[in-house]
Amino acid sequence: GAVVSQHPSRVICKSGTSVKIECRSLDFQATTMFWYRQFPKQSLMLMATSNEGSKATYEQGVEKDKFLINHASLTLSTLTVTSAHPEDSSFYICSASSQPNSYEQYFGPGTRLTVT
């Protein structure tokens, strides 16, 4: 199946700094990518939908100025957590689909963010 990678897999940063997480589709072109956040023992919460070449669509309650998403190419989307705080510590997961209305989404392995 198709492969989605994320980098880094783990990151620790200090409060107030910004962190960038990359999501890449390795063997297919992803017209749409999704960003999720998962707190311990909880389910995945969709943060935003990212379409190549256009602005991301954020879910209700997600601050677009805090979580900057850029989908500059068909194989790369980035999520930047700006001015991170300890409450932003979470597991961030991206997914991608290779074509509109594709029945399967391919998920990355996730990025564990810890803000100290």
Partner 1 sequence: DAKTTQPNSMESNEEEPVHLPCNHSTISGTDYIHWYRQLPSQGPEYVIHGLTSNVNNRMASLAIAEDRKSSTLILHRATLRDAAVYYCIQRPLFGNEKLTFGTGTRLTIIP
Is residue 58 close enough to count as binding partner 1 by CB under 8 A? no
Contact 41, 91 (CB under 8 A): no
Contact 62, 41 (CB under 8 A): no
* Other Cβ atoms closer than 10 A to 10: 9
In the set 24, 79, 81, 108, which binds partner 1 (CB under 8 A)? 108
Residue 75 or 95 with smaller CB distance to partner 1: 95
Interface with partner 1 by CB under 8 A: which range of 12-20, 28-36, 65-73, 76-84?
28-36
What's the Cα-to-Cα distance from 85 to each of 13, 82, 88, rounded to whole Å? 9, 9, 5
In the set 19, 56, 97, 113, which binds partner 1 (CB under 8 A)? 97
Give the residue from 27, 46, 28 showing the smallest Cα distance to 38: 46
Is residue 89 close enough to count as binding partner 1 by CB under 8 A? no
Give the side-chain half-sphere CA count within 13 A for 98.
Answer: 12
In the set 69, 84, 93, 115, which binds partner 1 (CB under 8 A)? 93
- For binding to partner 1 (CB under 8 A), which residues are involved? 1, 4, 32, 34, 36, 43-46, 49, 91, 93-95, 97, 100-110, 112
